């Protein structure tokens, strides 16, 4: 009888533990909308909130260099912004009750470095364009600084890329950037999702590999994106529904997207497998 009771007790424990495991599991795709990261709280290793993401800053090659954080330990009433090297953070995506959730944490060493950093002087983040300042930040967080040749014009906040106009190399307007898909494992921009505004189809969203996109600043400082090459009309490329990343779980869809832009089986220099959970 005692063995039988023990057996049912084990079954009861398994029944209670199964939903918890199901409620917090890694998603199948490593791609995440950049807007899902912005607004996320940043925690220390004890899960204490220390700030909130307000922006991601990428290089022209698509590598995410900095996360701009509004910190929670400022002694002033005004919100202070600080730049954390993206590689100094741990960012993961999980699914809780069917909803994707971004989790961002910093180590104790990174937290100490963050507290030593002076805040950014302005919302335009002009300090990011100063190599000496970038070296100081890199030294504090013990990471490599971006190339010395980078200027502020070579750094692109993700919120400035979103809604930027998209043209082909001849200058013909193709649409506008609807949102960005970040490869959170590789710390880079995976896709620019283009709203084909010249199409007759509503919400015709086309994912374009970021290594096929060139972002430049215009005379007035705004960002313009160019796609090179466009192997065939953009409207004939594979499309996705807004907010639906599930097609990227299928290797054949990824290959079709890459094939449309002459980038077979490569996504920002990585294999398609790196963008899908095993």
Encoded tokens for 236: 């004939």
**Whole-number pLDDT of residue 172:** 84
Claim to verify: residue 94 and residue 105 sit in the same structural domain:
yes
Domain tally, the chain: 2
CATH of the domain at 48: 2.30.30.240
Does residue 20 belong to any structural domain of this protein? Answer: no
**Whole-number pLDDT of residue 230:** 60
Closest to 56 (Cα-Cα) out of 87, 99, 30: 87
Claim to verify: residue 163 and residue 244 sit in the same structural domain:
yes
Residue bearing tokens 């199409």: 199
Q: Reduced to 3 states, what is the DSSP secondary structure of residue 144?
A: coil
Cβ-based burial of 76 (10 A; exposed 0-12, middle 13-18, buried ≥19): exposed
Whether residue 174 is predicted with pLDDT greater than 90 in this model: the reply is no
pTM: 0.79
**Vertex 81: Cα angle to 157 and 66 (nearest 5):** 40
Claim to verify: residue 82 and residue 111 sit in the same structural domain:
yes
Encoded tokens for 220: 């007035």
Domain boundary pick from 155, 177, 210: 155
Claim to verify: residue 49 and residue 109 sit in the same structural domain:
yes
Does residue 230 belong to any structural domain of this protein? Answer: yes
Claim to verify: residue 102 and residue 124 sit in the same structural domain:
yes
Does residue 11 belong to any structural domain of this protein? Answer: no
> In the Cβ-directed half-sphere of 67, how many Cα atoms lie within 13 Å?
32
* Residue-wise pLDDT tens digits, 34-89: 888 888 889 988 888 888 999 999 998 999 999 999 876 554 556 788 899 999 98
Span 176-203, average pLDDT: 82
Claim to verify: residue 175 and residue 96 sit in the same structural domain:
no
Whether residue 115 is predicted with pLDDT greater than 50 in this model: the reply is yes
DSSP H helices, 225-269, are 251-260
Claim to verify: residue 254 and residue 184 sit in the same structural domain:
yes
For residue 43, what are the domain limits?
31-155
Whether residue 29 is predicted with pLDDT greater than 90 in this model: the reply is no
Domain boundary pick from 125, 155, 185: 155
Claim to verify: residue 205 and residue 107 sit in the same structural domain:
no
Encoded tokens for 90: 């741990």
Domain boundary pick from 96, 130, 155: 155
* Terminal CA-CA length for the chain: 43
* Residue-wise pLDDT tens digits, 215-265: 988 888 889 999 875 645 676 788 998 878 889 889 999 888 888 886 433
Confidence of residue 272 (pLDDT cuts 50, 70, 90): very low
CB crowding 30-46: b at 16 or more within 10 Å, else e: bbbbbebbbebbbbbee
Tell me how far apart the alpha carbons of residues 201 and 247 are, in angstroms, rounded to a whole number: 19
**Whole-number pLDDT of residue 140:** 93
Whether residue 268 is predicted with pLDDT greater than 60 in this model: the reply is no
Encoded tokens for 256: 């079709």
- Residues above pLDDT 70, as percent of the chain: 76
**Whole-number pLDDT of residue 189:** 93
Claim to verify: residue 162 and residue 151 sit in the same structural domain:
no
Residue bearing tokens 């995440």: 32
Tell me how far apart the alpha carbons of residues 92 and 103 are, in angstroms, rounded to a whole number: 5
Claim to verify: residue 144 and residue 204 sit in the same structural domain:
no
- Residues above pLDDT 90, as percent of the chain: 25
């Amino acid at each position: 009888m005692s063995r039988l009771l023990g057996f049912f007790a084990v079954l009861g424990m398994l029944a209670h533990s199964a939903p918890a495991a199901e409620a917090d599991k890694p998603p199948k795709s490593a791609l995440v909308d950049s807007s899902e990261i912005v607004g996320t709280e940043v925690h220390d290793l004890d899960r204490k909130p220390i700030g909130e993401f307000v922006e991601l800053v990428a290089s022209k090659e698509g590598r995410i260099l900095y996360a701009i954080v509004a910190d929670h330990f400022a002694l002033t009433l005004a919100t202070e912004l600080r730049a954390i090297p993206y590689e100094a953070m741990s960012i993961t995506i999980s699914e809780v009750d069917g909803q994707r959730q971004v989790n961002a944490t910093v180590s104790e060493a990174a937290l100490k470095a963050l507290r030593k950093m002076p805040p950014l002087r302005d919302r335009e983040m002009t300090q990011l364009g100063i190599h000496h300042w970038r070296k100081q930040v890199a030294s504090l967080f013990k990471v490599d600084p971006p190339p010395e040749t980078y200027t502020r014009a070579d750094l692109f906040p993700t919120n400035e890329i979103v809604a930027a106009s998209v043209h082909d190399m001849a200058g013909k307007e193709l649409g506008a950037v609807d949102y960005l898909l970040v490869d959170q494992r590789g710390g880079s921009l995976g896709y620019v999702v283009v709203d084909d505004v010249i199409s007759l189809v509503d919400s015709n969203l086309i994912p374009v590999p970021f290594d096929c996109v060139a972002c430049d600043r215009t005379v007035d400082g705004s960002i313009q994106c160019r796609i090179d090459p466009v192997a065939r009309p953009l409207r004939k490329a594979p499309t996705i529904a807004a907010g639906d990343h599930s097609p990227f779980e299928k290797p054949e869809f990824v290959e079709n997207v890459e094939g449309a832009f002459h980038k077979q089986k490569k996504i920002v220099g990585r294999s398609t497998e790196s963008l899908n959970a095993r």
